[in-house]
Structure 1
Amino acid sequence: MGITYSANGRRLPALKGRKGSKKDHNLPDELVFEEANFAWQHGRRVLDETDSLFEQGSEETHQVFKYILGGNTRTPITPEMQGCLHLGTGHFIWLIEMANEHQGVRFEGFGMINPSDLTELPPNVNLTSGDLLKKLPYPNASFDYVNVRCLLTLLPSKQIPFALSEIIRICKTNARIEFLEVDIFIKNAGPYYENCLGNIWRQICKEKDYNPINSAHLTNLLLKRGLVEVNCSRLSIPLGEYGGKVGVMNAKQFIDSSNAIAANLKMTHDEMQEYLLRCVDEFNRHQSYHNAYLICARKG
Structure 2
Amino acid sequence: MSKQSKDSLTNVPKNEIWINNLEYFNHSNFENMDINEVASLILDTYKTYNGRQFLNEDDLNFLLPSDKLEIERSTLSHVLLRHRWNGNFCSPIKERLNTSGTTMLDVGCGPGLWAIDMGLNHPSSSIIAIDIDPSKFPPNDQCPPNVCFLTCNAVHGIPFPPNTFDFVNISLMWSAFSEAQWILLIKDLIRVLKYDGWIEFTEPDPALRNGGKNLTWLLESFANACRDVGGVNIRIYEKIPTYIRAMDELEDLNCMSVNYPVGEWYGCFGKYSLDNLERLLKAAVYLPKYIGISNEQFNNLLKDYLKEANETKSFIYIYKYFAKKVSKKAPII
Please state which band the TM-score falls in when normalised by the shorter chain. 0.7 to 0.9
Q: Does 1:246 align with 2:269?
A: yes
2:236 partner SS? coil
| CA deviation vs aligned residue, 1:219-247 (integer Å, no higher than 9, x gap) | 22112212111101122211111222221
User: Would the aligned equivalents of 1:153 and 1:181 in 2 still touch at CA under 8 Å?
Assistant: no
Distance 1:192 1:159, change over 3 A: same
1:208 to 1:187, Cα distance in 2 relative to 1, 3 A: farther
Structure 1 gaps of 5+ residues are: 1-56
Residue 62 (structure 1) aligns with:
78
Indicate the residue corresponding to 1:40 in structure 2.
none
In structure 1, the residue matched to 2:241 is 219
Separation of aligned partners in 1, 2:148 and 2:286: 36
What residue in structure 2 maps to residue 126 of structure 1? 148
- In the TM superposition, 1:89-100 aligns within 5 A as 89-100=109-120
Aligned partners of 1:280, 1:168: CA distance in 2, in Å? 40
TM superposition shift of 1:263? 5.2
Structure 1 CA distance for aligned equivalents of residues 135 and 232 of structure 2 = 28
Structure 1 residues 210 and 268: CA distance shift in structure 2, 3 A:
closer
Q: What amino acid does structure 2 have at the position aligned with 1:213? A: I
Distance 1:267 1:261, change over 3 A: farther
Shift, 1:74, TM fit: 1.7
For structure 2, the residue ranges without an aligned partner over 5 or more in a row are 1-72, 327-333
CA 1:288 to 1:264, structure 2 compared with 1: closer, same or farther past 3 Å? same
Aligned 8 A contact 2:164 2:194 in 1:
yes
CA–CA distance in structure 2, aligned partners of residues 176 and 197 of structure 1:
33
| SS of match in other structure, 2:284 | helix
Cα distance in 2 between the residues matched to 1:229 and 1:194: 35
Matches within 5 A, 1:26-175: 59-75=75-91, 76=94, 77-79=97-99, 82-115=102-135, 117-119=137-139, 120-152=142-174, 154-175=176-197
Q: Is this contact kept in 1: 2:166–2:197, CA < 8 A? A: yes
DSSP-derived class of the 2:148 partner: strand
Number of equivalent positions? 242
Q: Does 1:296 align with 2:322?
A: yes
- Of 201, 204, 228, 2:223 maps to 201
RMSD: 2.4
Q: TM-score, normalised by structure 1?
A: 0.73
Determine if contact 2:129/2:149 at 8 Å carries over to the other structure. yes
The answer to whether the aligner puts 1:184 opposite 2:209 as a matched pair is: no
Aligned sequence identity (%): 21
Q: Secondary structure at the match of 2:144?
A: coil
| Residue of structure 2 in register with 1:256 after alignment | 279
**Alignment partner for residue 232 of structure 2, among 193, 210, 215?**
210
Deviant stretches of 4+, over 6 Å = none
Question: Partners of 1:145 and 1:261 in 2: how far apart?
Answer: 32
How big is each residue's C-alpha offset from its partner over 1:111-133, in whole Å with a ceiling of 9 and x where there is no partner? 12233643232111111111111
Corresponding position: 1:285 with 2:311: yes
Residue 267 (structure 1) shift: 3.8
Q: Which has the higher contact order (CA 8 A, sep 6+)?
A: 1
CA distance in 1, matches of 2:304, 2:74: 25
Report the counterpart of residue 256 of structure 2 in structure 1.
Answer: 233
Work out the CA distance in 1 between the residues paired with 2:177 and 2:207: 15
